[in-house]
Amino acid sequence: MLVPANLLPVLSTESSGRNSSNTIVSGVIELWRQGLWALALIVFTASVVIPVLKVLGLSWLLLNAHRGAPRNPRRLTKIYAALDFIGRWSMLDVFLASFLAGLVRFGEFSTVTPRSGIVAFGAAVVLTMLATKAFDPRVFWQPGEVPQY
């Protein structure tokens, strides 16, 4: 889901007869070009870095769980807790698209419309949140060990 989310346009803007569509990355580049660097960094982190980090992190945790008896269960459990915490911030782009679609509706002057990329992105966020919730970090611990969060 992250592939179509990053390839398809998430928002299209119609302003004074001009039409433009933005993907997640092109939206970040546009913010950067406008001089809104802090904003570009926030959106890039929430929409690109966190989802990718979450998928890679969960895959790594699953690999460790399948190998059995990892050497540092405490560190892996902390990584899981961090992934669980940061996951919710990926919803930023979904809320942003929803908010802009509701507010910027000035007919031919300016209108923002959400595109199919945002649906794929929302699905990716929900699926990664469900995957994190379904994962149980207790698999890293041996019977009799006390899990430390």
Residues numbered 16-75 forming contacts with another protein, rule: CB under 8 A: 31, 34, 36, 39, 42-43
What are the distances in angstroms from CA 108 to CA 13, 17, 101? 11, 6, 14
Q: Please, what is the minimum distance in Å from the beta carbon of residue 125 to another protein? A: 8
Is 109 a binding residue for another protein by CB under 8 A? The answer is yes
Query: Taking a C-beta distance cutoff of 8 angstroms, is the pair 21, 7 a contact?
Result: no
Q: Which two tokens stand for residue 15?
A: 């302003």
Is 124 a binding residue for another protein by CB under 8 A? The answer is no
Is 110 a binding residue for another protein by CB under 8 A? The answer is yes
Beta strands at 110-114 and 11-15: parallel, antiparallel or unpaired: antiparallel
Query: Taking a C-beta distance cutoff of 8 angstroms, is the pair 132, 61 a contact?
Result: no
Which residue stretch of 1-9, 17-25, 57-65, 114-122 sits at the interface with another protein (rule: CB under 8 A)? 114-122
What are the distances in angstroms from CA 90 to CA 40, 44, 95, 127? 14, 10, 10, 12
- DSSP for residue 109: S
Is 89 a binding residue for another protein by CB under 8 A? The answer is yes
Name the residue nearer to another protein (CB basis): 104 or 139.
104
Give the Cα separation of 58 and 41 in Å (integer): 23
Name the residue nearer to another protein (CB basis): 46 or 61.
46
Q: Which residue from 25, 98, 135, 139 is in contact with another protein, where contact means CB under 8 A?
A: 98
Is 142 a binding residue for another protein by CB under 8 A? The answer is no
Residue numbers of the site for another protein (CB under 8 A)?
15, 31, 34, 36, 39, 42-43, 88-89, 91-96, 98-107, 109-110, 113-114, 118-119, 122-123, 126, 129, 133, 146, 148
